[in-house]
Each structure stands twice: as structure tokens, then as C-alpha cells.
Amino acid sequence: MNDIPSFIELEFCTCPNGCVPRDEHVLSGRDHLHGLEGTYTIVECLTCGLQRTNPRPTRDTIGYYYPSTYTPYNHSQERKKHKSNFAYKLAVLLGLENRCIKKKPPGNLLDIGCANGAYINEMQDKGWKVKGIEFSSHAENNVVNSNLDILYTDIYDLRDLGKYFDVVTMWMVLEHMHAPTKILKKIRNWISDDGILVISIPDANSLCRRIFRDKCYDIQLPTHLYHFNKKSIIRVLQESGYEITNVRWQKNPNTIIESILIYTNKGSLINSLFRWIKNSRKALFLRAILSFFLGITHQSARIEIIARPNIRRKI
């Protein structure tokens, strides 16, 4: 029997690519981040292969699953501390420093789902003119710099911001959106003619996902409403009026480490070992090797895509 709280309103959704409704059950699972109630199901569209959480909480009630303890609202700026040291520069050189915009000189940057603003604050320090969009009041309460230009609103309600931005970023955000194609089409009009969209998403095709199933860290039910893989995210971007310029797997060990921590019992030898690998500064080199290996084998479970508006395509 499902124990979804009665105040959560559920809605059924069809494939956002407009496919004939023909789905296959993938798995059912629960919230592992905060232990909140409810079992949710992921289905796969048999036409295009895009997976989605169905049914899902409505936009009005899903906020319950984003409590004040939600990690992105509380990210520290630890990265900044390493900015000038050797480890940081080496990480950039080896591609281990994710969320780096290497291909553009500083310009106008919009970060959608900017949480507590740690990323745009860092980019502002690097010379970018930054703006953020965030819907959570919990994130607003934890903002790292109160002078940052952040619009606290629901992006669905936001006015046209103009064809203004050289870079629009969405770091692990698109999978949280109820209508990803609608949002992608909207922000396409905010990207300048030679601008780019940079997104990262969890990879539903990863070995990690297949091994740990509903215990995989990046399942994150029910806040992850879509579960993309390389093929399905490319299709969604193309359908939304973009052309792809680069796809890579981030060099990042977090998904596999967190999945092992969810899967194993607290206090067990493996759990303690991976907790140490996750947290200890002494394990920095080990984390770097693991990150590098997971990235080059496409098994980090995090895909990063750079795309640009396809001006030949009318949407």
C-alpha cells in the first residue's frame, strides 16, 4: 500500500515528446535523501525511450519533497577556497573541475535553478555578469551573497528576459521540471545568437543505475520527474530547437559513492570506507583517480551537454 501523504496531489503525464501513450514499468522507489513518505514509479516511453516519474506530485505540492535540508540549498563555497591553489588548477587541467565554462570569455550568464547562489557567486568573481533564477524560499534564506542578482520566482511564470545571455546553465535541474520542453523552448529566446546552453543531467543508462536500481542516488524520487540518457536528452533538446555541440560524462564520483552509502548499512565496513572516501581530505587523490576513471569510461552517471539554438528550426 502506498503511503503518499494525502496533501500531495498527483497527476498523470504523457511523454513530453508527444509520443503515442505506450509505457513500460521500469522501477518503483522512495525518497532516499530525506526519508519522506511515498512510493513512486518510473515508466519508459516505448516510442522514444524517455523515462519519467508517473504519476508525480503536482507543481503546487511537490515543494514538500524539497525541505530546508535539501543539499543544494546548503552548498558551502568550499570550492572557492581551492580557487588559487595547485589542486584546483590541476583539477581544471584534467577536466575534474565540473561546471567550468572553458569555451567562452566572461560575458552574461544566467543560471536556472541557482539554489543558494554558490555557483553564480563564483562565476561573478571570475568576471561574469551573472543572474540566477530560483523558486525556493529555503534557498533564498541560505543565499551565499545577498547582493547577487537572483529572481526568486517560478520560471513558468517568468516574463521574457530578452535575447541577452552568452551562456545559460542548468546544473542538475532539467530532470526536476514538470515541462522540460516548454522551459527549453522558453529559454531558447534568452540566448544570444552565438550563445550556448550548458546542462548537466543524471544518466539513466549508467551501470550505477542498473546495479543499484531504486537505491541509486540519482533516482531521487519523486523530485526527479524525468530520467534522461544520452539519446533521450539529445532528442528533447532537438525537439526544443537546439543543436548539440558537445556531450561528455563529467568526471565526478558522487553518484557512485552516494549510491553505495544508500545501499549499505551505516556502520558497516564498506559504508565507513566510502564515507571516508567522500569526506576526508586525505582521500582527495583517490577521489580524483575515481573521478577520472568514471569520466573516461562514461560511468560517472552525469552527462554534460553543450547546445546552441538551432536558428534554422522554427518551434
Binders in 35-94 for Zn ion, by CB under 5 A: 45, 47-48, 50
Task: Outline where DSSP puts E strands in the chain.
Answer: 10-11, 23-30, 39-45, 51-53, 56-57, 108-112, 129-134, 150-152, 165-171, 191-202, 226-227, 242-249, 302-309
Give the list of residues 6+ apart from residue 192 with CB closer than 8 angstroms, or none: 108, 163, 164, 165, 166
Q: Which stretch binds Zn ion (CB under 5 A): 11-19, 184-192, 201-209, 240-248?
A: 11-19
Question: Is residue 17 within the footprint of Zn ion (CB under 5 A)?
Answer: yes
Smaller CB separation from Zn ion, 151 or 179: 179
Question: Is residue 150 within the footprint of Zn ion (CB under 5 A)?
Answer: no
Q: How many Cβ atoms are within 10 Å of 23's Cβ, its own excluded?
A: 18
Minimum gap (Å) between residue 46 Cβ and Zn ion? 8
Question: Is residue 216 within the footprint of Zn ion (CB under 5 A)?
Answer: no
Q: Which of 271, 273, 288, 276 is nearest to 87 (CA)?
A: 288
Give just the sign of the alpha carbon dihedral 212, 172, 177, 23.
Answer: negative
Total chain residues near Zn ion (CB under 5 A): 7
Q: What is the residue whose three cell numbers read 542538475? A: 172
Minimum gap (Å) between residue 52 Cβ and Zn ion? 9
Question: Is residue 19 within the footprint of Zn ion (CB under 5 A)?
Answer: yes
Question: Is residue 27 within the footprint of Zn ion (CB under 5 A)?
Answer: no
Using DSSP bridges, classify how beta strands 23-30 and 39-45 pair: parallel, antiparallel or unpaired.
Answer: antiparallel
Minimum gap (Å) between residue 230 Cβ and Zn ion? 15
Smaller CB separation from Zn ion, 19 or 87: 19
Minimum gap (Å) between residue 45 Cβ and Zn ion? 3
Q: Residues in the site for Zn ion, rule: CB under 5 A?
A: 15, 17, 19, 45, 47-48, 50
